Chains A and B, each alone.
Chain A
């Protein structure tokens, strides 16, 4: 994974560089032989499978041993194979490791087999490839894995593209092809791609061998492509190729009968495959903390081993002279040749070392290896319940909750800071044209709205605004010659032309009417074009060279002479249109701050002033605003531009920069036409969700690309901002003023803080800051000051922020506090923030899938954050925290019991408990209940958690897992091990008890004790919990009986013998009671005299339940609402 990430950044930077000759890839069209001469291009066979039958064993083992825990396992198993250290038999010592390895290997093998199968299916699909040499120009069906770079491929409608191809020709005479990129980025609308005019007319077989494409190296950027096409013969010309000329593997051809293209990237070098990186791997905070306690446990382990080793040294020294003849030691070896050598005795120093290593082997489960596997299983179970939760299911888009990362479920319970995108996350991203300001006149009066007249329309947009402004309609229809009327026409003409929308004509139920589906990448543009259509400027057709607009019932053709696409530096786009009346017009639309820079304000200052006022008003209503300007170009100006444009667009080096320069050069001295206001509706339940999150002690930050007024008004409408809040606004245009306002803000915060200590009522603060100021702050190392202000505020609103700044803001908090951060967003611009935050959540809705692909969890609606965090997050955290502590405790108890016994065996690491029981202890005897409880137990019900969001604070305060609890558990563990060991020990002192019988008693006592400990902490008992806990005890008894039924084991029949004595049962009962008393007393005191919120809420829930029994229907109702 890590490799992939590095790879990606390298590729990204490569794609941003311009195409240089030395690293260009040369593709000879239709001549795959010569293209692949040097064998440097990948074939089209894809291979997602990791292993082949031959490599499976070594590679899989290699990957598994990347986990440190497994290496620990392995080292211990290897140590145990040394004859001097052979504590366990071969079988018992290798079993746990083998078990884990085999389970994982089987899982991996199954997954890989499925990948192999899908690879085979994918590779054996058929594509029509132009067969070279034949000359007849025939397309022969070829398997996908035989397609090579340079092949000319023909694709029919609704077929998938086998590789990344440059379009040469399509069924459309103008060379347009539509592709659906659903598999690539999840966007369901069609994208337009063009074949170049120059190749369109030549039959493909003639192009073969005559054309050469030079393109950049394979990279991950699916929105970028730089190449040029060189046609041999005649005058050698270089034709520029861009992202609109390439179609990518994984897409489907739509609404186009056929398309012919030449393969430039194949197989694993296609952009789809390069983007096939898995979800980012994050680590949960609990796991990081757990590693700290694991270190403690290692220290305890080393201490125990050192004690044993040291004491064994002392013992050997004290008995140095005795041991020669002691029957149980037999130091001398009389059989071997030299007669007087020692048998298996290498001097005290060596014996101490051996004792230490043997102690490590015997006490190995002090570090609970099984915990890692348990945690994975538990997360799987938790993920299952989150995915299945009907409260996280979005019926409107039919999307379920997705768990993309299985490592951080429990982080959801500790979030303190939520960073939210606005558009598409808080709002629906279903844009609707609301109002316009044309030539300084505001048309936003609701009173004048009228329903769209459908009377004599031929073209009906699929998603049309429901109403239009009566006055504008009048103006357009009748005010033809007035100044205002002309402006209004130009305004709507600008809306209809200045975009990249593709109209698709569909047949409606009424044969006289055509339904138009506007396909485009920006929902704002769709809204604007639909609005233009509603006012009678219907975009009907688009090819690469012209568009057709139905202007108030009359079809007109406009030539698209040039198009400067939107980029985030300019924040505007423009088109140059050749109108039917032979004039050339430049239409520009863009964000207001960028537009007012290029508008000639001297031309009509009143209009500019009025428009600015209207813009302010619109954004206060929460509308997204765009400013539209235009300029008529003179013939010379146009020609000058055209030369510059052509030069720039065929340039090999720095094409993007040159084009930006050309655009900036022409986009100036514009005349202001007007502005539009588009409404972006709030998603369902957003204000309530934000309120709940705030009650839960979670800070909500909104990071948006919108302007300040829009952001603030949305802030109010979603209850993020309230009237009683004091707003601190930082929007500065220079470094100095920025620093100054930051200092002001700090002094204000401090003043308010000192005030609030006196009076109880604290003034809530809100910080509003814009992207420019953020740039200055991050540039000039004032981050600390910003942090100081931000952390004092209840709400932070960042507007006009660029994608990378979003990540910077998240990092600001992440670096300086230990607060858990969560980022939620839906668009490509949120990816960096989602990956930066501790928890990244993607909204799987309108804008595509990049955010989802980068996220850890994905869901349909913002409001699902509330049940996700407050309910599932709370449960996951509480369950996982308890499970980790319990696993530590459980294994430590067992180890301590072994330790006490070792002290009575001459420090020789003998265990009375059979080696098989030692091995099975954490695998079978006690594993299932903790996993079941960690998946199913609930400390509080869903309703309670939603009713009292403050209960979420338990996770933020780390109440379920902390060092104090760990120490408590360890003390308990020591006490219980003392009870388990010493009660039978004292009772059986000076008796005939054999080690197997005593070992069996200890085994059962430990297992019952730790299971009862768990049972005492279980909060909700359902039948599965019962089965797991009591079943485990029965399973242990059965295992012990089976082990004792094997005659060649020394302990044969011991359990049956010892179970027949009353003493056994009396001791078992005594061990359990004595072991549990401290835990029970502590629990009783804690729950009654020092209750935490969760305890109180549990009691409330209990009394509520008894109430509900009498009124069951009430419960059903509230549940349905929850």
Chain B
């Protein structure tokens, strides 16, 4: 075996996680190192590829998946975990817990008596100047007394091996969910090592978070607390984590407009009505949470939330306004506050920081400005952090002038030195700078620290900055247990018979509405693809049946699925991938993806995978227009993926209210399309044309059924029977009518409201149609036409009624999914 370490670059100026100063493997890494020595590069690279594949399959992203701009970025996870031994970890964990307690106490003071400000221990500039100091929250006492439920510290390791805090995360610390997902992948990649090394488990952290929120949530007698996770939505950079945590914690994932405040109480809008929410774990920034009392331009929050909090009716974690402690300017004041409040020292030191608001400190910072990192004190500033050593003379002078003009808004910080850790990349071991984010959660007996955390890795070899926003990756963090308890592995709370739930009571109406549209768009894409394929095949083959092609083109134009004028080829391109044609297949696929992204939490992994596949195909198509043959090929593959999607809907989803609306959406869409398409066909020129009947069967996906039944070329009466009246054929109008009737009946049984009878009457008329009249020569050509016209008109009525039904359902079930707006008067 080649010595993998031999080629490992080793910068002795930095601490190396794996190697000591003399280049020897550190003791707690020995076992892992041995394992690496017994592997060859090909094996390791293969494992790295497996890791990457799991990430892709699990849909783990940092940016957003179904982003219309396609800016989603897969999560980067290195094959090798970072290892931290038990004793060192004990020091880190104690220090992080101590810091969490301190910051919680500081918050309670700032939103309470403000003694720290009065006594001069904190500058008013850093508090009142911070846009996340929320004035209307002054005086609010959170239920349970905790302000900081979740906390994270960003740590860096200096060359002497000590860990330093470079930033406190007090608002909505992100990343713990990614850490958990990293763990699930990497522990399976090295299962024996994971067991042998006795790696501490992560589960109890998440259980504590759950318990804390549940136990502190204010409840009226007899109520079971409902905790929800509030996300800004799918465009947020860590949306995947919101989904993942919500699933893991068992909290419904909601957006601001899923919630409403009535009588100072927070409610979730569900199909079955309003359900009280007792606690809110938020991933939404402080000032966005309530457009009534906070930022009035925010559409993401819940109007009135603050009043519900003020009245003690709901717990918000972390407390609103906790972001004020994220100012880097505070770092230098914490040791004295710790001393003042608790009479002891901070165990984890903060990196050297100069808040420029004090004239002598400003001068100190200016003296050594060239070596420092300059940060904005407040997030509202339009100033990005600057490494002053990257500036030339003029740049430095400009920066210094800026600091002098408004000193209190700037913080100078020593440039953190980062430790190096081994990563597996390009088939060899390399070193990269790392940083670690460590999480703490409040519990009944103090703060508990997640034994692991998120290790972040610099993007390039020389880089000394680690931040997800600037690229770079992550690692699993293995805290070895030593003699200590491992903690509990991920094991859900045992559920008994009394816990059985047969129906999700917390399905937000918005999700249901999106499922409804997801169903409609999926079916619509399917319908459009079939019709365009009918045309495309005949056009490409240059068929000698011009009548059939023309009739299909007429129909598509009538249904607004083919733009009006011009060469057929241009029109087809437009209809398929036209960017400015609102009814194009491409536009509808985008709508499908949009609604899917809203309901991602409700779709199975496989289901989502099929969607991603469709999306990938669509992107390819957009990039490279190709020729008609390629488009035909695309349509065939797309129809396959769409039918997989429809299969998942039938076989893979729980039959809850969401599923029922999804299916109703599909059925309405198909009914409308079939009815309109057959009507158009019957009223058109090819009604009795054999080639026309052939494509009508294709459109109704019934060619094979017809052939096996009749073993003959299509003829009008049996084709119509199959597509209109056959109750066994899911592509028959009456089949869809019956299924819809059943689904609507169930809705009105469950939710009350008048039964939907409009379609029933039309269905009865359809079933009463005697196809025999088409058989009788008695009536002649004119009589035949009259019968076809009558049938066509009836089908159009059905299509119209289906559209009206959709509108009525929207009004009845989703009407409260309405936008709110701000008003202001002088």
**A and B: partners?**
no
A: residues with CB less than 8 A from B are none
